[in-house]
Amino acid sequence: MNYYLGNNKDIIAKLLKETSEAVLLITKKHSPEFLAFDDLSYIFKILDANGVLTSGALLEIAKILKMSLFLSNYYNTDNDDSSLNYPILDEYFSALYTNPSVLEAIEKSILDEFTISDSASHELNNIRKNKRRLEETIRNKLNSFIHSSLYSKYIQESLITIRNGRFVVPVKEEYRSMIKGFIQDVSASGSTVFIEPMVIFDLNNEMINLNASEAIEIDKILYRLSSMLYPIVSELKNCADTIGKLDFIFAKAKYSIKLNAIEPHLNDEKFIELVSARHPFIDESKVVPIDVNLGKNFSTLVITGPNTGGKTVCLKTVGLLTLMACSGLHIPAKERSSIYVFDNIYADIGDEQSIQESLSTFSSHMSNIIEILNTSTKNSLVLLDELGSRNRPFRRWFTCCKYFRSFI
> Mind giving me the DSSP string for 261-327?
-BPPEEESSS-EEEEEE--TTS-TTT---EEEEESSS-S-------TTSSHHHHHHHHHHHHHHHHT
Q: What is the mean pLDDT of the chain?
A: 88
For the chain, the straight-line distance linking the first and the last C-alpha, in angstroms and rounded, comes to: 19
Can you tell me the distance from the alpha carbon of 274 to that of 287, in angstroms, rounded to the nearest whole number? Answer: 15
86, 108 Cβ separation under 8 angstroms: no
Can you tell me the distance from the alpha carbon of 172 to that of 319, in angstroms, rounded to the nearest whole number? Answer: 78
User: pLDDT tens for residues 199-221?
Assistant: 999 999 999 999 999 999 999 99
Find the helix or strand (DSSP H, E) in which 10 lies. Answer: helix 9-28
φ, ψ of residue 360 to 5 degrees: the values are -90, -30
User: pLDDT tens for residues 67-86?
Assistant: 999 999 999 887 666 667 89
Query: Residues 39, 42, 46, CA angle at the centre, nearest 5°?
Result: 145
| Range with lowest mean pLDDT among 13-22, 95-104, 307-316, 390-399 | 390-399
Beta bridge mates, 167 = 162
Can you tell me the distance from the alpha carbon of 137 to that of 172, in angstroms, rounded to the nearest whole number? Answer: 24
In whole angstroms, how large is the CA radius of gyration of the chain?
35
- Higher pLDDT among residues 396 and 382, named by residue: 382
Specify whether domain 6-119+220-258 bears CATH 1.10.20. no
Per-residue pLDDT averaged across 294-320, rounded? 87
Indicate the Cα dihedral angle 64, 65, 71, 73, nearest 10°: -170
| Range with lowest mean pLDDT among 201-205, 295-299, 358-362, 390-394 | 390-394
Q: How confident is the model at residue 362 (pLDDT cuts 50, 70, 90)?
A: low
Give residue 217's identity as a one-letter amino acid code.
E
CA distances from 178 to 13, 52, 190, 195 (A): 86, 49, 17, 11
Q: What is the per-residue pLDDT for 208? A: 96
Residue closest to 44 by CA, chosen among 236, 246, 241: 236
| Range with lowest mean pLDDT among 92-101, 145-154, 397-406 | 397-406
Q: What is the per-residue pLDDT for 308? A: 79
User: pLDDT tens for residues 318-336?
Assistant: 999 999 999 999 999 999 9
What is the bridge-based pairing of β-strands 181-186 and 161-163? unpaired
Can you tell me the distance from the alpha carbon of 212 to that of 207, in angstroms, rounded to the nearest whole number? Answer: 9
Give residue 8's identity as a one-letter amino acid code.
N
Query: Residues 111, 113, 117, CA angle at the centre, nearest 5°?
Result: 30
Dmax over CA atoms of the chain, in Å, equals 107
What global pTM score does this model have? 0.81
Q: What is the per-residue pLDDT for 407? A: 42
Sign of CA dihedral 9, 11, 13, 19: negative
Give the domain 261-407 fold. Answer: Rossmann fold (3.40.50)
Q: How many residues does the chain have?
A: 408
